[in-house]
Amino acid sequence: MSATSLLASGTDVGAEIVFWVCATLCVIGALGMLLSRKPVHSALFVALTMINLAILYVALQAPFLGMVQIIVYTGAVMMLFVFVMMIVGVDASDSLIETIRGQRWAAIILVLAFAGLLIGAIVNGLSGVPEPSLEAANSQYGGNLQGIAKIIFTDYIVAFEVTSALLIIAALGAMLLAHRERHTPKPTQEQRSIARFARYAATGELPGNLPPAGTYARHNAIDTPALAPDGSVVPESVPGPLQERGNVRPVDVAAEVEVDEISEGHTVVTVDDDEAGEQR
Protein backbone atom coordinates (compact mmCIF):
# COMPACT_ATOMS: atom_id res chain seq x y z
CA MET A 1 0.00 0.00 0.00
CA SER A 2 1.52 3.32 -1.06
CA ALA A 3 1.89 6.32 1.21
CA THR A 4 -0.82 8.33 -0.50
CA SER A 5 -3.45 5.63 -0.18
CA LEU A 6 -2.40 5.16 3.46
CA LEU A 7 -3.02 8.86 4.02
CA ALA A 8 -6.26 8.79 2.10
CA SER A 9 -7.67 6.02 4.26
CA GLY A 10 -5.69 6.89 7.38
CA THR A 11 -8.42 6.34 9.96
CA ASP A 12 -9.54 3.10 8.38
CA VAL A 13 -6.04 1.64 8.44
CA GLY A 14 -5.62 2.72 12.06
CA ALA A 15 -8.94 1.13 13.02
CA GLU A 16 -7.96 -2.07 11.20
CA ILE A 17 -4.64 -2.29 13.03
CA VAL A 18 -6.30 -1.63 16.40
CA PHE A 19 -8.97 -4.22 15.70
CA TRP A 20 -6.66 -7.01 14.57
CA VAL A 21 -4.11 -6.48 17.38
CA CYS A 22 -6.75 -6.22 20.13
CA ALA A 23 -8.90 -9.04 18.72
CA THR A 24 -5.86 -11.34 18.61
CA LEU A 25 -4.94 -10.47 22.17
CA CYS A 26 -8.56 -10.97 23.27
CA VAL A 27 -8.70 -14.45 21.80
CA ILE A 28 -5.26 -15.26 23.25
CA GLY A 29 -6.52 -14.15 26.66
CA ALA A 30 -9.66 -16.26 26.36
CA LEU A 31 -7.66 -19.31 25.28
CA GLY A 32 -5.19 -18.75 28.10
CA MET A 33 -8.05 -18.59 30.58
CA LEU A 34 -9.36 -21.85 29.18
CA LEU A 35 -6.05 -23.72 29.09
CA SER A 36 -4.10 -22.60 32.15
CA ARG A 37 -4.21 -24.98 35.10
CA LYS A 38 -3.92 -22.42 37.90
CA PRO A 39 -6.79 -20.00 38.62
CA VAL A 40 -4.40 -17.07 39.09
CA HIS A 41 -3.03 -17.46 35.57
CA SER A 42 -6.60 -17.65 34.30
CA ALA A 43 -7.45 -14.43 36.13
CA LEU A 44 -4.48 -12.63 34.56
CA PHE A 45 -5.47 -13.85 31.09
CA VAL A 46 -9.03 -12.65 31.65
CA ALA A 47 -7.66 -9.25 32.69
CA LEU A 48 -5.74 -9.15 29.38
CA THR A 49 -8.95 -9.87 27.48
CA MET A 50 -10.86 -7.20 29.41
CA ILE A 51 -8.27 -4.48 28.78
CA ASN A 52 -8.25 -5.26 25.06
CA LEU A 53 -12.04 -5.21 25.02
CA ALA A 54 -11.86 -1.74 26.57
CA ILE A 55 -9.62 -0.58 23.71
CA LEU A 56 -12.09 -2.07 21.24
CA TYR A 57 -14.93 -0.15 22.91
CA VAL A 58 -12.98 3.07 22.42
CA ALA A 59 -12.44 2.11 18.80
CA LEU A 60 -16.21 1.54 18.53
CA GLN A 61 -16.80 5.18 19.55
CA ALA A 62 -17.77 4.25 23.12
CA PRO A 63 -15.03 5.93 25.20
CA PHE A 64 -17.16 6.02 28.35
CA LEU A 65 -17.78 2.28 28.27
CA GLY A 66 -14.09 1.69 27.61
CA MET A 67 -13.14 3.54 30.78
CA VAL A 68 -15.90 1.81 32.78
CA GLN A 69 -14.70 -1.52 31.43
CA ILE A 70 -11.18 -0.90 32.72
CA ILE A 71 -12.32 0.43 36.09
CA VAL A 72 -15.10 -2.07 36.79
CA TYR A 73 -13.76 -5.25 35.21
CA THR A 74 -9.99 -5.14 35.43
CA GLY A 75 -10.00 -2.90 38.48
CA ALA A 76 -12.79 -4.26 40.64
CA VAL A 77 -14.05 -7.59 39.38
CA MET A 78 -10.74 -9.26 38.60
CA MET A 79 -9.18 -8.01 41.83
CA LEU A 80 -12.15 -9.46 43.69
CA PHE A 81 -11.47 -12.76 41.95
CA VAL A 82 -7.82 -12.65 42.99
CA PHE A 83 -8.79 -11.85 46.59
CA VAL A 84 -11.14 -14.85 46.67
CA MET A 85 -8.34 -16.99 45.23
CA MET A 86 -6.23 -15.96 48.20
CA ILE A 87 -8.97 -17.33 50.47
CA VAL A 88 -9.78 -20.45 48.50
CA GLY A 89 -6.16 -21.37 47.79
CA VAL A 90 -3.98 -20.10 44.99
CA ASP A 91 -2.55 -23.44 43.97
CA ALA A 92 -5.82 -25.36 43.84
CA SER A 93 -5.26 -26.80 40.38
CA ASP A 94 -8.01 -28.38 38.36
CA SER A 95 -8.21 -32.13 38.30
CA LEU A 96 -7.98 -33.46 34.78
CA ILE A 97 -10.12 -36.49 35.55
CA GLU A 98 -13.36 -36.44 33.62
CA THR A 99 -16.32 -37.12 35.85
CA ILE A 100 -18.55 -37.83 32.85
CA ARG A 101 -16.80 -39.92 30.21
CA GLY A 102 -16.38 -38.21 26.85
CA GLN A 103 -17.74 -34.96 28.18
CA ARG A 104 -14.73 -32.93 27.08
CA TRP A 105 -14.89 -33.97 23.44
CA ALA A 106 -18.65 -33.63 23.38
CA ALA A 107 -18.30 -30.11 24.78
CA ILE A 108 -15.67 -29.15 22.19
CA ILE A 109 -17.77 -30.45 19.30
CA LEU A 110 -20.87 -28.73 20.67
CA VAL A 111 -19.07 -25.41 21.07
CA LEU A 112 -17.55 -25.62 17.59
CA ALA A 113 -21.01 -26.21 16.16
CA PHE A 114 -22.41 -23.34 18.23
CA ALA A 115 -19.66 -20.97 17.12
CA GLY A 116 -20.18 -22.00 13.51
CA LEU A 117 -23.90 -21.32 13.82
CA LEU A 118 -23.34 -17.90 15.41
CA ILE A 119 -20.67 -16.78 12.96
CA GLY A 120 -22.62 -18.06 9.99
CA ALA A 121 -25.72 -16.20 11.11
CA ILE A 122 -23.76 -13.00 11.72
CA VAL A 123 -21.94 -13.08 8.39
CA ASN A 124 -25.13 -13.90 6.49
CA GLY A 125 -27.33 -11.44 8.31
CA LEU A 126 -25.01 -8.48 8.18
CA SER A 127 -23.84 -8.66 4.58
CA GLY A 128 -24.44 -5.41 2.76
CA VAL A 129 -25.25 -3.21 5.74
CA PRO A 130 -24.16 0.43 5.44
CA GLU A 131 -20.88 1.60 6.94
CA PRO A 132 -21.53 2.32 10.64
CA SER A 133 -20.97 5.67 12.32
CA LEU A 134 -21.88 7.10 15.70
CA GLU A 135 -20.69 10.63 14.95
CA ALA A 136 -24.18 12.14 14.89
CA ALA A 137 -25.39 10.43 18.07
CA ASN A 138 -22.18 11.19 19.92
CA SER A 139 -22.20 14.87 19.04
CA GLN A 140 -25.92 15.44 19.58
CA TYR A 141 -25.55 16.43 23.25
CA GLY A 142 -21.89 17.40 23.15
CA GLY A 143 -20.27 14.02 23.69
CA ASN A 144 -20.59 10.30 24.24
CA LEU A 145 -21.01 10.56 28.01
CA GLN A 146 -23.67 13.26 27.71
CA GLY A 147 -25.58 11.15 25.18
CA ILE A 148 -25.54 8.08 27.44
CA ALA A 149 -26.52 10.23 30.42
CA LYS A 150 -29.50 11.60 28.50
CA ILE A 151 -30.71 8.07 27.70
CA ILE A 152 -30.12 6.71 31.22
CA PHE A 153 -31.84 9.59 33.00
CA THR A 154 -34.82 9.90 30.67
CA ASP A 155 -35.72 6.62 28.95
CA TYR A 156 -34.17 4.24 31.46
CA ILE A 157 -34.65 6.17 34.70
CA VAL A 158 -36.73 3.36 36.30
CA ALA A 159 -34.15 0.75 35.35
CA PHE A 160 -31.46 2.98 36.78
CA GLU A 161 -33.26 3.29 40.11
CA VAL A 162 -33.87 -0.47 40.23
CA THR A 163 -30.13 -0.87 39.63
CA SER A 164 -29.37 1.00 42.83
CA ALA A 165 -31.66 -1.37 44.74
CA LEU A 166 -29.91 -4.31 43.06
CA LEU A 167 -26.49 -3.08 44.15
CA ILE A 168 -27.60 -2.63 47.76
CA ILE A 169 -29.21 -6.09 47.79
CA ALA A 170 -26.04 -7.60 46.32
CA ALA A 171 -23.84 -5.96 48.97
CA LEU A 172 -26.15 -7.10 51.77
CA GLY A 173 -26.38 -10.60 50.30
CA ALA A 174 -22.60 -10.91 50.07
CA MET A 175 -22.27 -9.81 53.69
CA LEU A 176 -24.93 -12.29 54.76
CA LEU A 177 -23.36 -15.16 52.82
CA ALA A 178 -19.81 -14.48 53.94
CA HIS A 179 -20.82 -13.88 57.55
CA ARG A 180 -19.85 -16.58 60.04
CA GLU A 181 -21.75 -16.96 63.27
CA ARG A 182 -19.61 -17.36 66.39
CA HIS A 183 -20.50 -20.46 68.37
CA THR A 184 -18.69 -19.33 71.51
CA PRO A 185 -18.57 -15.76 72.85
CA LYS A 186 -15.41 -13.87 71.98
CA PRO A 187 -13.00 -13.88 74.99
CA THR A 188 -12.41 -10.46 76.46
CA GLN A 189 -8.98 -9.05 77.22
CA GLU A 190 -9.56 -9.70 80.93
CA GLN A 191 -10.43 -13.37 80.34
CA ARG A 192 -7.37 -13.88 78.14
CA SER A 193 -5.14 -12.29 80.77
CA ILE A 194 -6.57 -14.55 83.50
CA ALA A 195 -6.04 -17.59 81.30
CA ARG A 196 -2.43 -16.54 80.62
CA PHE A 197 -1.60 -16.30 84.33
CA ALA A 198 -3.44 -19.57 85.01
CA ARG A 199 -1.10 -21.20 82.46
CA TYR A 200 1.86 -19.54 84.23
CA ALA A 201 0.74 -21.01 87.57
CA ALA A 202 0.17 -24.46 86.10
CA THR A 203 3.08 -24.91 83.67
CA GLY A 204 5.43 -22.02 84.38
CA GLU A 205 4.93 -20.58 80.85
CA LEU A 206 6.00 -16.92 80.90
CA PRO A 207 2.99 -14.59 80.73
CA GLY A 208 4.88 -11.75 79.06
CA ASN A 209 6.66 -11.40 75.72
CA LEU A 210 9.52 -13.71 74.91
CA PRO A 211 12.87 -11.93 74.76
CA PRO A 212 13.80 -11.13 71.13
CA ALA A 213 16.82 -12.82 69.64
CA GLY A 214 20.11 -11.37 70.75
CA THR A 215 18.96 -9.68 73.97
CA TYR A 216 22.05 -9.29 76.19
CA ALA A 217 24.01 -11.42 73.72
CA ARG A 218 26.90 -10.13 71.62
CA HIS A 219 24.97 -10.20 68.32
CA ASN A 220 21.38 -9.37 67.47
CA ALA A 221 21.14 -11.81 64.56
CA ILE A 222 17.94 -13.87 64.47
CA ASP A 223 19.82 -17.11 65.10
CA THR A 224 21.58 -15.83 68.24
CA PRO A 225 19.67 -16.82 71.36
CA ALA A 226 19.04 -14.19 73.98
CA LEU A 227 20.92 -14.28 77.26
CA ALA A 228 19.13 -13.90 80.54
CA PRO A 229 20.68 -11.29 82.88
CA ASP A 230 22.45 -14.09 84.74
CA GLY A 231 24.20 -15.17 81.53
CA SER A 232 22.17 -18.30 80.83
CA VAL A 233 20.83 -18.95 77.32
CA VAL A 234 17.10 -18.45 76.59
CA PRO A 235 16.42 -20.98 73.80
CA GLU A 236 12.81 -19.78 73.22
CA SER A 237 14.12 -16.50 71.81
CA VAL A 238 15.18 -18.22 68.57
CA PRO A 239 12.31 -18.94 66.12
CA GLY A 240 11.10 -22.54 66.11
CA PRO A 241 12.01 -23.43 62.50
CA LEU A 242 15.63 -22.37 63.07
CA GLN A 243 15.78 -24.53 66.19
CA GLU A 244 14.39 -27.51 64.32
CA ARG A 245 16.96 -27.13 61.55
CA GLY A 246 19.72 -26.82 64.15
CA ASN A 247 20.71 -23.36 62.96
CA VAL A 248 21.07 -21.85 66.43
CA ARG A 249 24.39 -20.02 66.71
CA PRO A 250 26.25 -20.83 69.92
CA VAL A 251 26.53 -17.56 71.82
CA ASP A 252 29.72 -18.04 73.64
CA VAL A 253 32.01 -18.98 70.73
CA ALA A 254 32.68 -15.40 69.64
CA ALA A 255 33.13 -14.26 73.21
CA GLU A 256 35.61 -17.04 73.93
CA VAL A 257 37.63 -16.30 70.78
CA GLU A 258 37.79 -12.64 71.70
CA VAL A 259 38.91 -13.40 75.23
CA ASP A 260 41.63 -15.69 73.86
CA GLU A 261 42.82 -13.03 71.42
CA ILE A 262 43.01 -10.42 74.15
CA SER A 263 44.94 -12.76 76.38
CA GLU A 264 47.41 -13.45 73.55
CA GLY A 265 48.13 -9.73 73.19
CA HIS A 266 45.93 -8.87 70.17
CA THR A 267 43.91 -6.01 71.54
CA VAL A 268 40.60 -6.14 69.73
CA VAL A 269 38.61 -3.72 71.86
CA THR A 270 40.46 -0.66 73.09
CA VAL A 271 38.94 0.07 76.46
CA ASP A 272 40.47 0.86 79.83
CA ASP A 273 41.34 -2.11 81.93
CA ASP A 274 39.02 -1.03 84.72
CA GLU A 275 36.07 -0.52 82.42
CA ALA A 276 36.73 -3.76 80.65
CA GLY A 277 36.85 -5.53 83.95
CA GLU A 278 33.54 -4.01 84.91
CA GLN A 279 31.97 -4.97 81.61
CA ARG A 280 33.04 -8.58 81.85
Region near another protein per CB under 8 A, out of 56-64, 204-212, 223-231, 268-276:
56-64
Residue 163 makes contact with another protein by CB under 8 A: yes
3-state per-residue secondary structure call for 112-154: HHHHHHHHHHHHHHCCCCCCCCCHHHHHHCCCHHHHHHHHHHH
Residues contacting residue 240 through CB under 8 Å, at least 6 positions apart: none
Tell me how far, at minimum, the Cβ of 258 lies from another protein, in Å.
Answer: 55
Give rounded-to-5 percent helix, strand, coil for the chain. Answer: 65, 0, 35
Q: Which of 8, 15, 198, 221 binds another protein (CB under 8 A)?
A: 15
Distance CA 250, CA 233 (A): 9
DSSP state letters, 33-59: HHH-SSHHHHHHHHHHHHHHHHHHHHH
Residue 60 makes contact with another protein by CB under 8 A: yes
Tell me how far, at minimum, the Cβ of 187 lies from another protein, in Å.
Answer: 22
Region 224-253 residues binding another protein, contact defined as CB under 8 A: none
Which CB, 77 or 254, lies closer to another protein?
A: 77
Residue 194 makes contact with another protein by CB under 8 A: no
Region 81-110 residues binding another protein, contact defined as CB under 8 A: 81, 84-85, 87-89, 92-95, 99, 103-104, 107-108, 110
Q: Which of 8, 115, 194, 195 binds another protein (CB under 8 A)?
A: 115
